[in-house]
Amino acid sequence: MAYARKCWPEGNAAEHSLLALQIGIIVAVDDALEHSAPLATPAEEYGTVLPWHSPRRGAAAAARTPVRHAVRRLDAELARHTRQTFGSASPTEVVTWWRSQAEALVAAAWQEARWRTSAPPDEGTYLAVAEHSIGVGWLAASLVRLSGSPAAPVAGSRLETAIRAVAVAVRTANDLQEIERERAEGKVQLLFLRARAWKHLDARAAENRARAELTTELAHRVALARALLDPSGWTDSPRLRLGLNGMLTAAMALYSVDTGGAARAAAGVVSDRVS
């Protein structure tokens, strides 16, 4: 709940509760694809967790039913909140974009699950996927709905670019911290990929070199996101800017002190609400 409040500093308790539920769903989707083999295509995965897709049958779908119900509840509650707060429903394009961000998250989690048993990608390919699996884009889409925005972000706009910059920064910070859990799970992540470039060194030295490089890059990525979120020239909702800035600040603070999976544990408390 504390992270949800920081993502939406001017929000109320009901809005914070919805964002906390969404954070729990994001963790639950990741967990679902960690503990069962991915289905044949992302489209098949959509049917297990996204209620606007035809439901699938089978063990995987049955296990993910609580997640599917939680997504349905989140979508409905966001719609109800918008009607009560602004007097009308969110425009269709905003809801469609929100749903597309959920699909991007599920597809990214699916791809990451497949990478555990295939050749690892290059860093560019990885980041293009992992910026979605971290969940920032879908959370930002909820902030857009909560703000009463009349339109979805335009591709290439400052808002869309800022969302992506925040996502890449948060993903980089995540991959510098949760290494032992992800190593045990056989996950592909940024630090492991960068360490491969130093294969002439022993494993520990290669990882240390990779960490030093990525720590420097993280600082640049955070600075880029901050620049995009600067009030000067910002033409979208001020609440959206504060929300994205809060999301970035909270994530950096959480990961900066997380040396034993504390960030994951904090999210896990929220994920219990999904079931």
**106-156: pLDDT as tens digits:** 999 999 999 988 889 999 999 999 999 999 999 999 999 999 999 999 999
Write down the residue that tokens 């992800």 correspond to: 182
Structural domains of the chain, ranges and CATH numbers in brackets:
2-271 (1.10.600.10)
Tens of pLDDT along 64-97? Answer: 999 999 999 999 999 999 999 999 989 999 999 9
Structure tokens at 164: 């992506």
Separation of alpha carbons 88 and 53, rounded Å: 25
Separation of alpha carbons 43 and 57, rounded Å: 14
Decide if 171 contacts 164 (C-beta within 8 A).
no
165-169, 176-180, 201-205, 238-242 — most confident range: 165-169
Cα first-last separation, the chain: 17
Helices (H) and strands (E) in the chain, counts: 14, 0
Tens of pLDDT along 146-184? Answer: 999 999 999 999 999 999 999 999 999 999 986 777 777
Structure tokens at 228: 């995009």
Structure tokens at 102: 């959920």
Q: For the chain, how big is the Rg over CA atoms in Å?
A: 18
Separation of alpha carbons 78 and 163, rounded Å: 20
Nearest to 164, CA basis, from 129, 118, 210, 196:
129
Model pTM score: 0.90
Residue 259 pLDDT greater than 50, yes or no: no
Confidence of residue 257 (pLDDT cuts 50, 70, 90): low
Separation of alpha carbons 84 and 97, rounded Å: 21
Q: Which residues, other chains included, contact 200 with Cβ-Cβ below 8 Å and sequence gap of 6+?
A: none
Structure tokens at 216: 């420097």
Burial (Cβ within 10 Å: 0-12, 13-18, ≥19) of residue 272: exposed
Separation of alpha carbons 221 and 8, rounded Å: 22
